[in-house]
């Protein structure tokens, strides 16, 4: 069986092959898969002499970022969905009964898409998870097309499934793990989002690669068989200046964030002065403004949102009991979609008051970084089902110059350096204490934020494109082996 698995291992491109067709596959909402969008853009950036075209395959959902939609050499092919899974199963039994039918339909739709709608690729880049049925079909497509197969390991599919079925000892989770190891073991190359994941893949799963260590020598890799490609922010993510913040909030403060309606002169964070400089109205951040917190979440079981709610409750109690601290009023905007969103939204009124306002929002791919670029602090509750992947939302926040409070788990220190570019917490009480430290004696800024922002700026210097060119680009060159 092994000799038939890993088409990329058996079939490498000839040295003299011309421009390639790259197929980027994610069995998920393409618009909510930023890393795969960035892969597609980086492949297209290699130029038509090396990459003739890129096909991005996935489900239709959130709008794909404009840079991808408008690129002349990137084509988006949506996988048809014969059944719309409009609501998540309410019980474990419902999930187990629905899962086989969902997988079968996904399999049929993927076969139609990859073998009929998409031209034969020369290189296949597939996101894992989801593993079932994606890894199997990617292997078959690689053999059929004589293409290189590159697996981009974001997490482990079996660990996500284990959360739904009652743990990793459940027979279905054990089956999923065996499937994932079997069809994920061989490829032309493997990419991993963390050093910890790369070590597990190499040392415990014994994944094999025929790329000889991969792109750019696999800089920073834990093993020659796995290349570590940390998530990095795209170059257009940045901190907004006062007039940009003002224009953004005038447009979205009421309509998208459901906060008080702004005026042309004043928003939640800014005030337009009467003086005019160089034909522009002067805009300044208000010294009496609230502090804006942003937390991105997928509203799933691996992110315990109750931690943030409990921390905000304690923060508000501290503000009332210790007025001399002069704590900031907090406006907390939570972005994202997921099965537990409605449950938590119903709880919000219990935690709101003079010092805390809670809102949810779903912004376009272009407006989301603008929100981050005008916020004061980010909060990440991501813990990872495997403990081996890192939250992309923190990368986005850092890219926009935003310090972060992140929940502690196994490999978070690969991204968040405590007291350097963010703060790491292990409980609601610890998070509340950090919020008090950051927002004490608030006058529109704080020494803690100023210090952490310097560490964030150092992180921003290494962009996605620089990192991709150093570590992954060589994997996709028509002339590399």
How far apart are the C-alpha atoms of 191 and 36, rounded to whole Å?
12
Q: Are 192 and 168 found together in one domain?
A: yes
Look at residue 287 and tell me whether its pLDDT is greater than 80.
yes
Average pLDDT over residues 99-117: 84
State the pTM of this model: 0.82
The pLDDT of residue 150: 97
> CB-side exposure of 402: number of CA atoms within 13 Å?
33
CA 41 to chain centre: 16
Whether the per-residue pLDDT at 8 is higher than 50: the answer is no
In percent, the amount of the chain with pLDDT more than 70 equals 88
Is 37 among the domain residues?
Answer: yes
pLDDT range class, residue 435, cuts 50, 70, 90: very high
Cis peptide before 312 (omega within 30 of 0): no
> pLDDT tens digits for 394-427?
999 999 999 999 999 988 999 999 999 999 999 9
> Tens of pLDDT along 40-49?
999 999 999 9
Please indicate, yes or no, if residue 132 is contained in any of the structural domains.
yes
Instruction: Report the share of the chain in percent with pLDDT over 90.
Output: 65
Check whether 249 has a pLDDT greater than 90. Answer: yes
Question: What confidence category does residue 478 fall into, taking pLDDT thresholds of 50, 70 and 90?
Answer: confident
Mean pLDDT of all residues in 371-396:
91
Q: Where are the alpha helices (DSSP H) in 63-187?
A: 66-69, 92-112, 134-145, 157-165, 171-184
- Give residue 234's pLDDT: 85
Q: What is the mean pLDDT of residues 3-23?
A: 58
What pLDDT shows up at residue 82? 58
> Which CATH number does the domain housing residue 296 bear?
3.40.50.2000
Residues 179 and 1: beta-carbon distance below 8 Å: no
Q: Residue written as tokens 């909030």?
A: 249
Q: Are 304 and 363 within one domain?
A: yes
The 10s digit of each residue's pLDDT in 48-82 is: 999 999 999 999 988 899 999 999 999 999 998 75
Q: Is the pLDDT of residue 217 over 90?
A: no
Give per-residue pLDDT as tens, 291-349: 999 998 888 776 889 999 999 999 999 999 999 999 999 999 999 888 888 899 999 99
* Residue 364 sits in the same domain as residue 415: yes
Residues 329 and 368 in one domain: yes
- Residue numbers of the domain that contains 209: 2-232+464-476
Please report which residue ranges of 49-91 form alpha helices under DSSP H. 66-69
Q: Is residue 361 part of a domain?
A: yes
Worst-scoring range by mean pLDDT, 105-109, 322-326, 441-445?
105-109
Count of other CB atoms within 10 angstroms of residue 381: 22
CA distances from 196 to 154, 204, 219 (A): 12, 11, 15
* Residue 14 pLDDT: 43
Q: Are residues 250 and 300 in the same domain?
A: yes
The domain tally of the chain equals: 2
Question: Per-residue pLDDT averaged across 366-381, rounded?
Answer: 95
Q: Is residue 179 domain-shared with residue 83, that is, in the same domain?
A: yes
- Give the pLDDT score at 278: 56
If asked whether residues 211 and 343 sit together in one domain, one would say no
Residue 61 and residue 91 in one domain: yes
In sequence order, which residues have a C-beta less than 8 Å from that of residue 92 and are 6 or more positions away? 164, 165, 166
Between 15 and 194, name the one with better pLDDT: 194
Does residue 118 lie in a domain region?
Answer: yes
Phi, psi of 307 (to 5 degrees): -60, -45
Q: Which strand ranges, in their side-by-side order, compose the sheet holding 404-407?
A: 356-361, 330-335, 291-296, 377-380, 404-407, 422-425
Q: What is the mean pLDDT of residues 80-91?
A: 59
φ and ψ at 409, to 5 degrees?
-155, -175
296 plus 226 within the same structural domain: no
Residues 181 and 131 in one domain: yes
Residue 89: pLDDT over 80 = no
Quick check: is 159 in a domain? yes
Residue 84: its pLDDT value, please? 56
Is residue 237, in this structure, part of any structural domain at all? no
Residue 185 confidence (pLDDT) above 50: yes
**Per-residue confidence at 169, pLDDT binned at 50, 70, 90?**
confident
> Is residue 481 included in any domain, yes or no?
no
Whether the predicted pLDDT of 101 surpasses 80: no
Alpha-carbon span 481 to 14, nearest angstrom: 8
Pair 251, 142 in one domain: no
Residue 26 lies in a domain: yes
Domain check: are 336 and 222 in the same one? no
């Amino acid at each position: 069986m092994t000799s038939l698995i890993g088409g990329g291992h058996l079939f490498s491109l000839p040295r003299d092959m011309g421009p390639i067709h790259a197929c980027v596959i994610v069995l998920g909402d393409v618009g909510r898969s930023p890393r795969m969008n960035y892969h597609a853009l980086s492949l297209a950036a290699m130029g038509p002499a090396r990459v003739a075209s890129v096909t991005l395959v996935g489900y239709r959902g959130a709008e794909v970022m404009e840079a991808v939609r408008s690129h002349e050499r990137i084509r988006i092919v949506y996988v048809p969905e014969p059944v719309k899974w409009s609501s998540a199963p309410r019980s474990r039994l419902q999930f187990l009964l629905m899962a086989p039918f969902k997988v079968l339909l996904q399999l049929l739709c993927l076969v139609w898409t990859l073998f009929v709608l998409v031209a034969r690729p020369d290189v296949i880049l597939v996101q894992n998870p989801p593993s079932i049925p994606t890894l199997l079909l990617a292997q078959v497509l690689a053999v059929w097309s004589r293409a290189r197969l590159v697996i981009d390991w974001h997490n482990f599919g079996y660990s996500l499934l284990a959360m739904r079925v009652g743990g990793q000892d459940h027979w279905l989770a054990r089956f999923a793990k065996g499937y994932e190891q079997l069809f994920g073991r061989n490829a032309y190359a493997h990419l991993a989002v963390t050093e910890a994941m790369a070590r597990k893949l190499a040392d415990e799963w014994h994944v094999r690669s025929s790329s000889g260590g991969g792109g750019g020598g696999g800089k920073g890799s834990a093993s020659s068989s796995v290349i570590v490609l940390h998530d990095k922010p795209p170059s257009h993510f940045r901190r907004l200046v006062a007039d940009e913040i003002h224009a953004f909030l005038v447009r979205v403060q009421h309509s998208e964030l459901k906060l008080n309606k702004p005026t042309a002169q004043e928003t939640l964070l800014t005030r337009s002065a009467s003086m005019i400089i160089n034909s522009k109205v002067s805009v300044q951040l208000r010294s009496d403004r609230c502090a804006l917190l942003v937390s991105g979440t997928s509203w799933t079981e691996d992110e315990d949102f109750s931690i943030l709610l409990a921390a905000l409750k304690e923060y508000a109690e501290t503000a009332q009991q210790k007025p001399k601290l002069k704590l900031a009023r907090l406006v907390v905007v939570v972005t994202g979609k997921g099965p537990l969103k409605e449950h938590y939204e119903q709880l919000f009124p219990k935690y709101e008051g003079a010092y805390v306002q809670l809102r949810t929002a779903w912004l376009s791919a272009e407006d989301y970084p603008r929100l981050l670029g005008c916020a004061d602090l980010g909060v990440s509750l991501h813990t990872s089902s495997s403990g081996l992947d890192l939250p992309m939302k923190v990368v986005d926040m850092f890219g926009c110059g935003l310090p972060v409070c992140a929940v502690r788990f196994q490999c978070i220190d690969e991204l968040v350096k405590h007291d350097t570019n963010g703060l790491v917490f292990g409980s609601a009480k610890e998070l509340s204490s950090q919020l008090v430290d950051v927002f004490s004696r608030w006058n529109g800024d704080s020494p803690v934020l100023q210090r952490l922002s310097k560490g964030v700026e150092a992180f921003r210097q290494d962009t996605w494109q620089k990192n991709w060119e150093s570590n992954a680009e060589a994997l996709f060159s028509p002339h590399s082996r």
